[in-house]
Amino acid sequence: MTASAREADAALTDQLVATVWSGSRYFKLGFLLLGAGSLGFAALIAYTFEVGIGLWGNNIPVAWAFAIVNFVFWIGIGHAGTFISAILYLLEQRWRATVNRFSEAMTLFAVAQALLFPVLHLGRPWFAYWLLPYPARMHVWPQVKSPLPWDFAAIFTYGTVSLLFFYLGLLPDLASTRDRAPERWRRRIYGIFALGWRGSEDAWRHYRLAYLLLAGLATPLVISVHSIVSADFAVGLTPGWHSTIFPPFFVAGAIFSGFAMVLSLIIPARKVFRLENVITPRHVDACAKLLLVTGLCVAYGYAIEFFVAWYSGDEFEIEQFFVTRPTGPNSWAFYLMLCCNVVVPQLLWSRRLRTNLKLLWLLSLLINVGMWCERFVIVVLGLEREYLRADQAAYTPSWVDLGLLSGSVCFFLFLFLGFLRFLPIVALSEVKETRRHLARARAEGAAAGG
Amino acid sequence: MADALIAEFGDDAALARAVERLHELGVRGLDAHTPYSTEVVRDALAAPPSRLSLAVLAGGATGASAAYGLEWLLVAHLYPLNVGGRSPQLPLAFVPITFEMGVLFAATTAFVAALVTGRLVRLWDPVFEVDGFEHASRDTFWLALELGAANTPPEERLRAELTELGATRVSDLSRGTP
């Protein structure tokens, strides 16, 4: 390592840790606005607790509606985080080091939103603990042959493992923040959270293996979680739900929406913190390519859903896909879904667009909208037209539904802003290690060539 | 008197060379402090591979078997419910929770084991008292070596060797409490 490499390490550390001290008035404004939105979210949750879910637009047969749409949407968002952290780590995709911290934080905050909705949807949320096999006096236990307790176990595990993975990855960088902190009180706070990390080789040895094992465990986990979420639908007999394609279809959709959210968050953060030297156009391009690939998987899923509905010969399946979705109540969501998830991602074939960050950002927002619509189509349009003619109804969300959705977006962004403000946003030690690895590989290549 | 010495290097290759030389001199009980995990230092120290995976396997197996056992206990033994004539003991339906709990316990074990084996979760450590050690998380590489063990050369010689090997500073390290 030359003196210039050491200086580069020092400069990179200072640059990436400096984001923690660089609070600007825009941050304050952001905190204020999103904090107000989050308070509104809390108020609507309290209102729902107090009055009940009669405040929502849910009806019979559309009993799941917004709560489950939002739940599946937020869980899906979280998937790209684990995909980037775990699967790309196992595949030794070193470019992930620049974006993994963002996406892991995104996962955590998205899972936090997702957890709220099914609990609220219980109607009597204070009985949510009934999902746990606690020693109840009446000896009635959770029915573990139902996908709902599977879901609870999957989401709880996913949230916990994501948190452990995030925190373990953060430890060396919390130590860097502790050591660069300008004030004593900050050194103390970051010192407590760094747990006494000293960069000891002995600690690195175990840490690396633990990180690798967590990545190995998170990989099947990420596949299992959305597969289990899809089982909530696929195990039911509702037309449009009862399909074996659901697990892979849901997983592809989750990673697709997650990558879209990663781009929606990273592109502005890169600009605000001037991280152009760390998150290079190549990294954004790689994310955009993955968005295209997963988008194609999702489009294939849509095509197969239609094909299977037609091929099954089942009149209710055919009606669901060929009548209700294109012409039924709320069919706008179906067209918006096709436009945002199938047509718009095709623009990503163009390298020029993949490197035009403003357009890419807009496109990622559209895909987020499209993926929310996809869940709306599955949940709401599926339930609007079931088997009984007498049991068909249209669904309209109430203002509380819309408020809870926008409130959860505010709360998610509020938490994410807190992450941007108080934690190192790029995996510092990993980026330095990657640079060192590349420099050594280049030197060895030059020596072999020369 | 110091219990140990700690030397600062500007580069992981220099630290690795120092480790090799100290090993030749018969010094044992070496540990490095580096801003990131580096292969050359790892190879030079030649520490045995971590056996954390055994603990993780045990944790995962405990979680999975406990979950399966609990599922069986609840729905096959304590409160069997006849739904469509299906058997109360239905292994396929028990798989998702068994898998999730296996992953949860294994991951928690990996996390806790990494903290315990890495001797973390402490507010203070003697190395924090060493001047300039705050750079260990930024851009410098540190080598700590125990003094006073049998066959270890005298302190003065070790200091001279370390300086000759490229250490930019050599400090005393006291293992006592502050």
With residue B33 as reference, give the H or E element that holds it.
strand B30-33
Q: Give percent above pLDDT 90 in chain A.
A: 69
Q: Which of A241, A370, A330 is nearest to A57 (CA)?
A: A330
Residue-level pLDDT at A343: 97
Residue-level pLDDT at A93: 81
Which residues in chain A touch residue B129, judged by CB atoms under 8 angstroms apart? Answer: none
Query: Which among B71, B110, B124 has the least Cβ separation from residue A213?
Result: B110
Entry pTM: 0.93
Query: Which among B94, B108, B125 has the least Cβ separation from residue A198?
Result: B125
Q: How far is A303 from chain B (nearest CA, A)?
A: 28
Higher pLDDT, A381 or B177: A381
Please give the residue of chain A at the shortest CA–CA distance from B90: A145
Contact A433 B13 (CB under 8 A): no
Residue-level pLDDT at A26: 81
What value does the mean pLDDT take over residues A123-128?
91
Please give the residue of chain B at the shortest CA–CA distance from A431: B36
CA–chain centroid gap for A381, Å, is: 24
How crowded is residue B93: how many other Cβ atoms within 10 Å of its Cβ?
A: 18
Contact A217 B103 (CB under 8 A): yes
Per-residue pLDDT of A348-372, as tens digits, reads 999 999 989 999 999 999 999 999 9
Interface mutation target, options B15, B108, B111, chain A, most CBs of A under 10 Å: B111
Which residues in chain B touch residue A209, judged by CB atoms under 8 angstroms apart? Answer: 49-50, 52-53, 114
Per-residue pLDDT of A395-434, as tens digits, reads 999 999 999 999 999 999 999 999 999 999 888 888 888 8
Q: How would residue A2 be classed by pLDDT, with cut points 50, 70 and 90?
A: low
Is the predicted pLDDT of residue B149 greater than 80, yes or no? no
The winner for highest mean pLDDT among A243-252, A335-344, A438-447 is A335-344
Query: Which among B36, B96, B122 has the least Cβ separation from residue A228?
Result: B96
Which residues in chain A touch residue B50, judged by CB atoms under 8 angstroms apart? Answer: 205-206, 208-209
Please give the residue of chain B at the shortest CA–CA distance from A159: B104
Is the predicted pLDDT of residue B14 greater than 90, yes or no? yes
Please give the residue of chain B at the shortest CA–CA distance from A165: B111
Is the predicted pLDDT of residue A450 greater than 70, yes or no? no
What value does the mean pLDDT take over residues A66-93?
88
What value does the mean pLDDT take over residues A431-441?
84
User: In angstroms, rounded to a whole number, what is the distance separating the alpha carbons of residues A118 and B154?
Assistant: 68
Is the predicted pLDDT of residue A64 greater than 80, yes or no? yes
What value does the mean pLDDT take over residues A59-87?
90
Residue-level pLDDT at A142: 87
Q: How far is A171 from chain B (nearest CA, A)?
A: 10
Q: How would residue A3 be classed by pLDDT, with cut points 50, 70 and 90?
A: low
- Give burial (CB, 10 Å; 0-12/13-18/19+) of B58: middle
Contact A224 B100 (CB under 8 A): yes
Residue-level pLDDT at A133: 86
Residue-level pLDDT at B28: 82
Residue-level pLDDT at A5: 77
With residue A410 as reference, give the H or E element that holds it.
helix A399-422
Is the predicted pLDDT of residue B119 greater than 80, yes or no? yes
CB-based contact A354:A306 (threshold 8 Å): no
Q: How would residue B29 be classed by pLDDT, with cut points 50, 70 and 90?
A: confident
User: In angstroms, rounded to a whole number, what is the distance separating the alpha carbons of residues B86 and B94?
Assistant: 14
Contact B50 A196 (CB under 8 A): no
CB-based contact B162:B14 (threshold 8 Å): no
Interface mutation target, options A131, A144, A229, A430, chain B, most CBs of B under 10 Å: A144
Contact B79 A140 (CB under 8 A): yes
**Nearest-10 crossing angle of helices A428-449, A147-180:** 80
Higher pLDDT, B103 or B154: B103
Mean pLDDT, chain A, integer = 91
Q: Which of A81, A64, A259, A62 is nearest to A151 (CA)?
A: A64
Which residues in chain A touch residue B17, judged by CB atoms under 8 angstroms apart? Answer: none
Is the predicted pLDDT of residue B178 greater than 60, yes or no? no
Contact B47 A201 (CB under 8 A): yes
Residue-level pLDDT at A1: 54
Is the predicted pLDDT of residue B106 greater than 90, yes or no? yes
Please give the residue of chain B at the shortest CA–CA distance from A146: B93
Sign for the pseudo-dihedral over CA of A213, A216, A217, A222: positive
CA–chain centroid gap for A1, Å, is: 38
Number of inter-chain CB pairs under 8 A, A vs B: 212
Is the predicted pLDDT of residue A331 greater than 80, yes or no? yes
What value does the mean pLDDT take over residues B121-132?
90
Query: Which among B90, B108, B137 has the least Cβ separation from residue A179?
Result: B137
Q: How far is B132 from chain A (nearest CA, A)?
A: 10
Per-residue pLDDT of B56-102, as tens digits, reads 999 999 999 999 999 999 989 988 888 888 888 889 999 999 999 99
Phi, psi angle pair for B47, to nearest 5°: -70, 150
DSSP string, A348-382: GG-HHHHT-HHHHHHHHHHHHHHHHHHHHIIIIIH
User: In angstroms, rounded to a whole number, what is the distance separating the alpha carbons of residues A423 and A17?
Assistant: 8
Query: Which among A133, A180, A202 has the least Cβ separation from residue B47?
Result: A202
Range name among A114-123, A316-325, B20-29, B110-119 with the lowest pLDDT average? B20-29
Which residues in chain B touch residue A218, judged by CB atoms under 8 angstroms apart? Answer: 107
Q: How far is A179 from chain B (nearest CA, A)?
A: 5
Q: How far is A247 from chain B (nearest CA, A)?
A: 13
With residue A151 as reference, give the H or E element that holds it.
helix A147-180
Query: Which among A179, A196, A210 has the least Cβ separation from residue B134?
Result: A179
Q: Give percent above pLDDT 70 in chain B.
A: 97
Strands B169-173 and B4-9: antiparallel
Q: How would residue A241 be classed by pLDDT, with cut points 50, 70 and 90?
A: very high
CB-based contact B81:B88 (threshold 8 Å): yes
With residue A272 as reference, give the H or E element that holds it.
helix A246-272
Q: Give percent above pLDDT 70 in chain A.
A: 99
Which ipTM was obtained for this model? Answer: 0.94
Range name among A310-314, B53-57, B149-153 with the lowest pLDDT average? B149-153
Q: Which of A54, A193, A209, A52 is nearest to A126 (CA)?
A: A52
User: In angstroms, rounded to a whole number, what is the distance separating the alpha carbons of residues A406 and A417?
Assistant: 16
Q: How far is A323 from chain B (nearest CA, A)?
A: 33
Which residues in chain A touch residue B11, judged by CB atoms under 8 angstroms apart? Answer: 1, 5-6
